[in-house]
Amino acid sequence: MPRKFRLRKQDVKAEMLTPENAEELAEWCGGSVGSKANFFNAPQEGSYVTLTLAGVHGLTVIGEGDYLVELPNGKFDRYNPRLFEHMYEEVVEEPPAQRENLFDLPRTPFSG
């Protein structure tokens, strides 16, 4: 599932495209999975996956290793890893503290 990242105090959802998560990301952004061989019409060695979607700047092809980013306006964009990692930091959300029961409240100087 896409992780959360922050740009200038603005959170976005993003994930790096890999062969393992291509189908999940295609479903998330409404795109379709292809391969470099299919896109460039020439056979390539090894696995190389692409994702094609209607992005911010029209038809966008995302290559393996690029980041797929859902912007605050709900549109998707592509970032190469170097630029993405320079602009964004991952948001790590702490799970809420769990208490044994509802009456196990912290003591204060006024609680007697």
**Beta bridge partners of residue 27, listed in sequence order:** none
- Chain centroid to Cα 41, Å, comes to 28
Taking a C-beta distance cutoff of 8 angstroms, is the pair 29, 53 a contact? yes
Indicate the SS3 state at residue 28. Answer: helix
Taking a C-beta distance cutoff of 8 angstroms, is the pair 40, 57 a contact? no
Q: How far apart are CA 37 and CA 32, in angstroms?
A: 15
What is the pTM for the complete model shown?
Answer: 0.66
Tens place of pLDDT per residue across the chain (112 aa):
889 887 767 788 999 998 889 899 989 998 888 875 544 444 444 446 788 888 778 888 888 899 999 988 888 989 999 999 988 888 888 887 766 665 666 666 665 5
